[in-house]
Structure 1
Amino acid sequence: MSWKASFQQGVSNFKRDNYLESLACFDEAISLGCDTFIVYDSRAAVHEKLGNYKAALIDAKKVVDTAPDRWQGYARSARLFHALQKDEAALKMIDLALERIKADDTHRSQELDALKYQAIDALNAADERRRARIAKTAYHIGKLPVEILVEVFSIVVAADHAQILKLSHICKHWRGIAIETPSLWNTLVVSKNRPKRKIQLWVQRAHKHISVLSFHHNILEIDWSSILEELIPLSWYSLRSLTVSGRLFSQIYDFLRRLSKTDVIPRLKHLDVTDTDFTKISSSFEDYHLESLKISGLTPAMNELWTRVHRLKTMNIEHAGWLDISPAVLANPSLESLILNNFIPPPSNVVNDRVQLPNLLCMKLNNIPAPVSEVTRSFVAPNLQILHLFSVGLSRDGLLEFMRAPPLALRELRLGSCTPSINSLKIILAGAPLLETLQISGVHGVVNDMLHFISGTNPNDNHQDVCPLLKHVDLSNCADLLTGSAYSLVKTRLRSDQLVIGDESQPGCRAEIESLKLDGCHNIEGEMLPWFRGKVKVFSCVYMSKKEANRRR
Structure 2
Amino acid sequence: MSWKASFQQGISNFKRNQYSEALAFFDEAISLGCDSFTVYDSRAAVHEKLGNNKAALLDAKKVVDTAPDRWQGYARSARLFHALTKNEAALKMADLALERIKPDDAQRRQGLHALKSQATDALKAADDRRRARIAKTAYHIGKLPVEIFAEIFGLVVAADHVQILNLSHVCKHWRGIAIETPSLWQTLVVSKKYPTRKARFWVQRARTQISDLSFHHNISEMDWPSILLELTPLHWHGLRSLAASGSLFSRLYDMLHKLSKTKAISHLEHLDVTGCPNFERFLPDFEDSHLDTLKVANFTPSMGGLWSRVHRLKTMSIEAGCIEIVPALTANPSLENLMLCDIVPIPMQSGGDDRVELSNLRCLKFFNIASISMITRVVIAPNLQVLHLFSIGHSSDVLLEFAHPDPLRALRELRIGSCTTTASSLKIIIAGAPLLETLQISGIHGVVNDVLDFISGTHPNDHHQDMCTFLKHVDLTNCGDLLTRNAYSLVKTRLHTDQPATVDGSQPECRAEIESLRLDGCPLIEAEMLPWFRGKVKVFSCVYMTKKEGKQRR
| Superposition TM-score tier, normalisation by shorter sequence | 0.7 to 0.9
For the pair 1:162 / 2:158, whether they are aligned, the reply is no
After TM superposition, the structure 1 = structure 2 runs for residues 332-371 of structure 1, keeping only pairs within 5 Å, are 332-344=332-344, 351-370=352-371
Paired residues of 2:30 and 2:39 also in contact (CA < 8 A): yes
Deviation string for 1:115-142 (max 9, x for gaps)?
3332333333333333333333333332
Deviation string for 1:391-420 (max 9, x for gaps)?
446866828926975655555555555577
Question: Residue 342 of structure 1: SS of its match in structure 2?
Answer: strand
In the alignment, which residue of structure 1 is the partner of 2:185? 185
> Measured at CA, do residues 453 and 285 of structure 1 come closer, stay the same or move farther in structure 2, by a change above 3 Å?
closer
> Measured at CA, do residues 488 and 329 of structure 1 come closer, stay the same or move farther in structure 2, by a change above 3 Å?
closer
Deviation at 1:176?
Answer: 0.9
Q: Aligned partners of 2:362, 2:130: CA distance in 1, in Å?
A: 54
For the pair 1:27 / 2:11, whether they are aligned, the reply is no
Deviation at 1:262?
Answer: 1.2
Question: Residue 75 of structure 1: SS of its match in structure 2?
Answer: helix
Letter in 2 for 1:310: H
> Measured at CA, do residues 245 and 466 of structure 1 come closer, stay the same or move farther in structure 2, by a change above 3 Å?
same
In the alignment, which residue of structure 2 is the partner of 1:287? 288
> Measured at CA, do residues 103 and 484 of structure 1 come closer, stay the same or move farther in structure 2, by a change above 3 Å?
farther
Letter in 2 for 1:21: E
Question: Residue 262 of structure 2: SS of its match in structure 1?
Answer: coil
Deviation at 1:266?
Answer: 0.9
> Measured at CA, do residues 170 and 377 of structure 1 come closer, stay the same or move farther in structure 2, by a change above 3 Å?
same
Q: Aligned partners of 2:227, 2:119: CA distance in 1, in Å?
A: 72
Paired residues of 2:287 and 2:310 also in contact (CA < 8 A): no
For the pair 1:225 / 2:225, whether they are aligned, the reply is yes
> Measured at CA, do residues 227 and 346 of structure 1 come closer, stay the same or move farther in structure 2, by a change above 3 Å?
closer
Q: Aligned partners of 2:195, 2:51: CA distance in 1, in Å?
A: 72
For the pair 1:140 / 2:140, whether they are aligned, the reply is yes
Deviation at 1:172?
Answer: 0.9
In the alignment, which residue of structure 2 is the partner of 1:115? 115
Letter in 2 for 1:222: M
Deviation string for 1:475-499 (max 9, x for gaps)?
77778697996999599779x9999
In the alignment, which residue of structure 2 is the partner of 1:503? none
Question: Residue 401 of structure 1: SS of its match in structure 2?
Answer: coil
Paired residues of 1:288 and 1:308 also in contact (CA < 8 A): yes
After TM superposition, the structure 1 = structure 2 runs for residues 26-45 of structure 1, keeping only pairs within 5 Å, are 26-45=26-45
Q: Aligned partners of 1:447, 1:56: CA distance in 2, in Å?
A: 94
Deviates more, 1:428-437 or 1:125-134: 428-437
Given the two structures, how large is their TM-score scaled by the length of structure 1? 0.79
> Measured at CA, do residues 247 and 432 of structure 1 come closer, stay the same or move farther in structure 2, by a change above 3 Å?
same
For the pair 1:315 / 2:316, whether they are aligned, the reply is yes
In the alignment, which residue of structure 2 is the partner of 1:265? 265
Paired residues of 1:369 and 1:392 also in contact (CA < 8 A): yes
Paired residues of 1:412 and 1:437 also in contact (CA < 8 A): yes
Letter in 2 for 1:295: V
| Long gaps (5+) in structure 2 | 501-508
Q: Aligned partners of 2:486, 2:211: CA distance in 1, in Å?
A: 52
Deviation at 1:335?
Answer: 1.6
In the alignment, which residue of structure 1 is the partner of 2:503? none
> Measured at CA, do residues 532 and 176 of structure 1 come closer, stay the same or move farther in structure 2, by a change above 3 Å?
farther
Letter in 1 for 2:263: D
Letter in 1 for 2:26: F
After TM superposition, the structure 1 = structure 2 runs for residues 516-535 of structure 1, keeping only pairs within 5 Å, are none
Identity of aligned residues (%): 63
Deviation at 1:358?
Answer: 1.3
> Measured at CA, do residues 253 and 355 of structure 1 come closer, stay the same or move farther in structure 2, by a change above 3 Å?
same
Deviation at 1:447?
Answer: 7.6
After TM superposition, the structure 1 = structure 2 runs for residues 87-486 of structure 1, keeping only pairs within 5 Å, are 87-277=87-277, 278-299=279-300, 301-320=302-321, 324-344=324-344, 351-370=352-371, 375-392=375-392, 398=399, 401=402, 409-410=410-411, 412=413, 414=415, 466=468, 468=470, 470=472
Q: Aligned partners of 2:328, 2:551: CA distance in 1, in Å?
A: 49
Q: Aligned partners of 1:385, 1:158: CA distance in 2, in Å?
A: 27
> Measured at CA, do residues 202 and 127 of structure 1 come closer, stay the same or move farther in structure 2, by a change above 3 Å?
same
Deviation at 1:275?
Answer: 0.7
- Tell me which structure has the larger Cα radius of gyration: 2
Deviates more, 1:47-56 or 1:402-411: 402-411
After TM superposition, the structure 1 = structure 2 runs for residues 51-70 of structure 1, keeping only pairs within 5 Å, are 51-70=51-70
Letter in 1 for 2:280: T
Q: How many equivalent residue pairs?
A: 540
Q: Aligned partners of 1:487, 1:73: CA distance in 2, in Å?
A: 88
Question: Residue 245 of structure 2: SS of its match in structure 1?
Answer: coil
Paired residues of 1:400 and 1:424 also in contact (CA < 8 A): no
> Measured at CA, do residues 126 and 362 of structure 1 come closer, stay the same or move farther in structure 2, by a change above 3 Å?
farther
In the alignment, which residue of structure 2 is the partner of 1:504? none
Deviation at 1:310?
Answer: 0.8
Letter in 1 for 2:21: E
Paired residues of 1:441 and 1:478 also in contact (CA < 8 A): yes
Q: Aligned partners of 1:303, 1:151: CA distance in 2, in Å?
A: 42
Paired residues of 2:514 and 2:537 also in contact (CA < 8 A): no
Paired residues of 1:373 and 1:401 also in contact (CA < 8 A): no
Paired residues of 2:297 and 2:320 also in contact (CA < 8 A): yes
Question: Residue 242 of structure 2: SS of its match in structure 1?
Answer: strand
Paired residues of 1:521 and 1:543 also in contact (CA < 8 A): yes
> Measured at CA, do residues 306 and 397 of structure 1 come closer, stay the same or move farther in structure 2, by a change above 3 Å?
closer
> Measured at CA, do residues 533 and 284 of structure 1 come closer, stay the same or move farther in structure 2, by a change above 3 Å?
same
Letter in 1 for 2:262: T
Question: Residue 232 of structure 2: SS of its match in structure 1?
Answer: coil
- Let me know the Cα RMSD of the aligned residues: 4.6
Paired residues of 2:37 and 2:67 also in contact (CA < 8 A): yes
